[in-house]
Amino acid sequence: MLTSINLFRHLLPAALLLGSSLAFAQVNASLPTIELKTGIYRIQAEVADTPERRQVGLMNRTGMPVNSGMLFVFEEKAGHCFWMFNTKIPLAIAFIADDGKIVNIEEMQAGTTNNHCPKAAVRYALEMNKQWFSERVIGPGSVISGLPKK
């Protein structure tokens, strides 16, 4: 009986970890996607438009295709700040005004808890791979079209 209890003690944490990982994966497994455009570039963006989807974001992913990203959509314009806790890939984030103009862009290092915030109240934020915006000379004032209307 003692052996069964020890086995249970070792298997329970693993089962709980697997269950929580599956729960996280299921939250973002079926995210809707939309096509966004900026200049000559097209972006396939997953849409995180609920508190649960926004909380998970791109956590625990190990890669992202070049012209893919995640669009965070909030109900209210505010100073929505982001950090990179449990995010394994470095990202760039563009904070976007209602008219589609980029307010500011921040480069974010993987696994950090530094806050990255917009310079004005926004409803949208677009995460792309690190330096995606700078490599394409896209900066504040550039327009992202195709944003969903809330």
Among 120, 114, 94, 89, CA closest to 106: 94
Q: What's the pTM value of the predicted model, to 2 decimals?
A: 0.81
Percent of the chain at pLDDT > 90 equals: 79
Examine the domain organization and report whether 59 and 89 are in the same domain: yes
Examine the domain organization and report whether 110 and 57 are in the same domain: yes
CA distance 19 to 15: 6
Examine the domain organization and report whether 47 and 59 are in the same domain: yes
The string of pLDDT tens digits covering residues 3-23 is: 444 443 444 444 444 443 333
The string of pLDDT tens digits covering residues 105-129 is: 999 999 999 999 999 999 999 999 9
Examine the domain organization and report whether 58 and 119 are in the same domain: yes
Percent of the chain at pLDDT > 70 equals: 80
> Which residues form the domain of 21?
1-29
Examine the domain organization and report whether 7 and 35 are in the same domain: no
- What total number of domains does the chain contain? 2
pLDDT at residue 29, rounded to an integer: 58
